[in-house]
Structures are given as C-alpha cells and as structure tokens.
Amino acid sequence: MKKQLMKRAALVMAASMAAVSLMGCGSGAGDKKTDTTAAESSTAAAGANDSTAAGTTEASKEPVTLRFSWWGSDSRHQALLAVIEAYEKKNPNVSVEAEYQGYDGYYEKIMTTLSSNTAPDIIQLSKEWLPDIQGAKHYLADLSTLPVDLSTLKDNLLEISGTYRGEPNIFPCTVGGSTIVYVNTDFAEQYGVDLTKKYTWDEIKELGKSIHEKDSDVYLMTADADMLNRLYVQPYLAQITGKPLIDEETYTMNFTEADAAAAFRNIEELYSTNTIEPFGEAAAFAGQADQNMKWINGKVGMIVDYTGSAPKYIASIDSPLEVIPLPVIENAKTSGSIYGGDRGYAINDNSINKEEAAKFLDFLMNDPESIKICKTDVGYCPTKQSDDILIAEGVISEVQKKAVEVSAENSYTNNMISGNTELEVVRKDLIQEVIYGDITPEEAAKELVEQYQEILDELKTN
C-alpha cells in the first residue's frame, strides 16, 4: 500500500493544476461495505435534515471542540475563518479550531494523521485521494447517515466528485467544466454565427473559412499552445473514445494512433482554413487571451476556455457575451468537456463529534449566510441555491452559470494520470510541430504513441 500511496503522491504533484477533474484507482471500501447508491444517499440525507442549515438547528448545549483542516490561498483562509466565526456566534457551545496551509505537503500530512488516528474532524480533500483513503481503511464517514443535506448539490455532482463505492464521503465545494466556447454576440450577429446551434468541427471550419474570406483581418477563433493542448486535442480524443486519455488501471492509452492523427489533423485544418488566428500572433497573448487585441476589437469572435474564465472575458469586451458548447466530431461519444468538482469536505469517521461536525459542514455549504461569506473563494457554486444567491449579490453572472450548465451536458469524467505533466508536454510540443508544418499529423500521432508508451511504462513500474 505504501508504494501505491507514493506513486499516487507523485502523480498528484505531476498532474496539471488546470485540470478540473482528477481520479484514482484503489481497492474496495475496506472495513465497511454498503449497497447505498449516491442518489439514494442524497435522498436519505435530505429526509433526515428537514431543518437544513446547521445554524438554525437546535444543537446540544454541551461544549464541543471541532478541528477543521483545509488548504488554499489567503482569500480562502479568510473566508473560512469568517464562516467559523459566524457559526460559533450561532452555536456558542461549539469551538472550531482552524488548521490551514498551502497545498504543498497537505496530502502527506492528511494521510499521516488519518493513519495515526489524529486527523481533524472536518477535512478538505481532493476527490482523487478517495481511493487511497477509503481503499486503505474506512477513514471517512458516510455523509448520508449524518445531518448534512446532500440534496442541495447540483445534479450528478455528488456521484461524480464525492462518492466512493456507492458511499458519499465528500461534499463537493466547487464545480466547473473544462471546455466552453465564449462568443462575442456582436461578432456573431455580424458574421452569421448561430448561437443556438451545436456545431461540428467541420461546420466550424467552414464558418471560419467563410468569415476570413470576407475580411482577411478577421478570424473566428484564437488559441495559445496550452489551449490547443487541453481544450482542443484532448477533448477531440475524448469525443472519439468517450474516455480519458489513459486507462488508470492498466496504464494504457484509450486512443489509437489513427485517433491521434485525426486530432492533430483537426488542428492543422483549423489553421489551413484560417479559422484560428495565426499561432505566432496568438502566442503574444499566451495565458491571457482576454487581452488579445483582436478579441477586444471584435476581430476574433470565439475563445474556448474553462468555465471559471467567464469573468475575465465578460470584462474584456463591450459586447454582451454568450456561451455555446465545444464543437464535436460526427457521432461523438461525449462533448469532450470534463465536468465536476475537484475537491470538497469530508468528516473523519473516527471523530467522536461526527454529528456536530456534520452540522457545521451543513452550515458551511448550505446556509445562505455562509454562501454569501464564501462567495467563490472556497469554490464555484456546487449547490443549486448558491448560483441564485451569488447572482443576486453581484458576485457571479448568468453567463458563468450557463457556462457550467452547458459544460455538464454529455460530459465525461477525467482521471489523474491523463493530466500527467510529462504526457501533456509531449502532446503540446507535437501540436506546435504540426502547426509549423515540421511534421504531418500522421507523423505526430506515431511519435505521440511511442513517447506516451515510454512514459507510461516508466510510471507503471515506479
């Protein structure tokens, strides 16, 4: 098990932090088995919690001390400390001790405290750690048996991001999608972009070609190398296979060399049809496409990015912004969008105060006061009510809400190994060689498969 945990830790550190969802492999549920499904768990929890918010639930008057551990930035620290203060005011018999830090070393710390039975009562966790934790022993409580309302979560989010072997162990604190197309609506009206249509890649290339032929200074899309890598090629392969790039159990590729050639060919054609702004010009705005002058001046009409990028694109142009799904291949098995939440909060199954810990967790995630305090510093709107509350507060927009909803349609769940940094670098380098005409899509695909195999063989043996 130790070797497995060390391999997991290495992959966690190597995985791209831009990826929305990461998953892992592991053994069964250990000491405790359950036939309860996540959907049944949500219903059961909802029925057990008619009084929902913990701040309004009559609690025991006995003094209780809870330990709450998390990682994050200073803004997250300040938000959660404010939530603790608000909860303690409503529940004067409860004291919540905050234990917080940055991301580095957090995984190792939590694994150590769980195995030594010194873990906090409430713990922030990444969802990909679930197999390590519950596969080793039943360290995390079944949330469906505790007074925390799981029915407030958005559809399928608990199953995707908080459930292990049918048991809900993590309350997701964020949700998002990996690919959404942001569209300048004035550009769309001028150049005939149908905002109600679900485009195929071939249709997008035809549209892009016709737009550029009308005005040689105008392009339908723009993208930098990272976007092409994670938001074009990776989703294209998922559309073909319906799966993540790599099988996490066998460390084998879920795509063929022919699949990879098709993905590279799509990139080549996006440039040859002048659908995408020339790579060299877009490279000047790598990582900051919202500052691309063609985008700002209405000479580029679409940008593919993550759902969390909505605020910067809204602020970057005067035109109203709309969102549409990523283009797809014919007979796509998935939209290519990775939807879910990458982290959330769990309760230590060995805690002597599980009930009180659950009441605090319910307040944190479901109480309107806490939602207003946290804004999006803890995560983006995992519950159904949080969107409406934060839109009313002026914290988020209808555009971002729609972006998340659109990204959820026919999405797929990624795994941790598919975001491995070495694999991403190989893919990114080959994409650029194809763009510059140094190699053909077929040659790039052959090289990709060969290099991936070498990396996967090494990862499998380590």
229 secondary structure, DSSP code: I
Instruction: Give the pLDDT means over successive 10-residue stretches in the chain (462 positions).
Output: 43 41 31 33 40 43 95 94 98 98 93 96 93 90 98 94 94 95 98 97 98 98 96 98 95 98 98 98 94 97 95 95 98 96 96 98 98 96 96 94 95 88 95 98 98 95 80
Residue 31, C-beta contacts closer than 8 angstroms, at least 6 positions apart:
137, 138
Range of the domain at 218: 180-336+420-461
- The answer on 166 and 208 residing in a single domain is no
- The answer on 320 and 288 residing in a single domain is yes
Q: Residue 100 belongs to a domain with what CATH number? A: 3.40.190.10
- The answer on 107 and 76 residing in a single domain is yes
Return the pLDDT at 60: 55
The answer to whether position 22 is within a domain reads no
Which residues lie across from 39 on neighbouring strands?
none
The answer to whether position 354 is within a domain reads yes
- Measured CA to CA, the distance from residue 238 to residue 230 in angstroms comes to 11
- The answer on 310 and 223 residing in a single domain is yes
Return the pLDDT at 132: 85
Q: Which two tokens stand for residue 308?
A: 């969390």
Return the pLDDT at 44: 38
Q: Which two tokens stand for residue 244?
A: 């993540």
- pTM of the full predicted structure? 0.79
The answer to whether position 370 is within a domain reads yes
- Measured CA to CA, the distance from residue 53 to residue 79 in angstroms comes to 18
> What total of structural domains would you count in the chain?
2
- The answer on 219 and 104 residing in a single domain is no
Which of 94, 11, 17 minimizes the C-alpha distance to 55? 94
- The answer on 434 and 327 residing in a single domain is yes
Is residue 233 within 8 A of residue 267, CB to CB? The reply is yes
The answer to whether position 23 is within a domain reads no
- The answer on 190 and 169 residing in a single domain is no
